Chain A
Amino acid sequence: GAGVSQSPSNKVTEKGKDVELRCDPISGHTALYWYRQRLGQGLEFLIYFQGNSAPDKSGLPSDRFSAERTGESVSTLTIQRTQQEDSAVYLCASRAEPGGGETQYFGPGTRLLVL
């Protein structure tokens, strides 16, 4: 596709429910990232996928957060037993090449509100 797409664009859920967020990277991009942006803050790294390598989960804030990616395509971020502090915008980014020094392109984000 032309850019990174994410769905849903907005999600309102009740505390304790599970949510699943989706990211479609730019076609052919091997690297995929998830970031979180709390209100009025910069972005925080969550998880990194590169091809078929084991993902780097070092940014996940708790074991309630998990993510999957099939090959070099779609990724899903799952938050179990959501808490109010999980309310944030979740952004996905992709990059063409493995390794550093390349531009990351961001999707429009999913705005999650936990009531």
Chain B
Amino acid sequence: GIQVEQSPPDLILQEGANSTLRCNFSDSVNNLQWFHQNPWGQLINLFYIPSGTKQNGRLSATTVATERYSLLYISSSQTTDSGVYFCAVESGGSNYKLTFGKGTLLTVNP
């Protein structure tokens, strides 16, 4: 099946810093989603981005489908950005399931 690798596995920032999270995948995809899992475990949809670039406030994402990677940018980080960021891809097949990476654990210190 498709492989999804995220980097870095852990990231510690000071409040106000910028960061880039990366997601590499091993096959073509129909769907790519970025999620933020908050400390209470809730998965929050950040972006649906199988290709192209999107922005939402301090967050933006770019997926280059032909090169099989996606980037999530966080600017002017805040302590509330802390948590785990997951990339998940859907690569076809009859069930359209999402395959998740192992996530990036982001800690933003005040």
Contacts and interface: CB of A to CB of B under 8 A. Distances in A.
Contact of A101 (B30, B88, B101): B30
Interface of B: 4, 30-31, 33, 35, 40-43, 45, 48, 50, 86, 88, 90, 92, 94-103
Contact of B31 (A59, A101, A108): A101
Interface of A: 31, 33, 35, 41-45, 48, 56, 58-59, 89, 91, 93, 95, 99-106, 108-109, 111
Q: Which of B30, B42, B92, B95 has the most CB of A within 10 A?
A: B95
Contacts of A95: 96
Contacts of B40: 108
20 contacts: A33-B97, A42-B86, A42-B101, A43-B86, A43-B88, A44-B100, A48-B95, A56-B97, A58-B95, A100-B92, A102-B31, A103-B31, A103-B45, A103-B48, A104-B33, A104-B98, A106-B42, A108-B41, A109-B43, A111-B41
Nearest to B88: A43
A55 to B, nearest CB: 9
Given A35-B98, A91-B43, A101-B31, 5 more contacts: A41-B102, A56-B95, A89-B41, A95-B96, A106-B42
A101 B50 contact: yes
A108 B2 CA distance: 26
A2 to B, nearest CB: 14
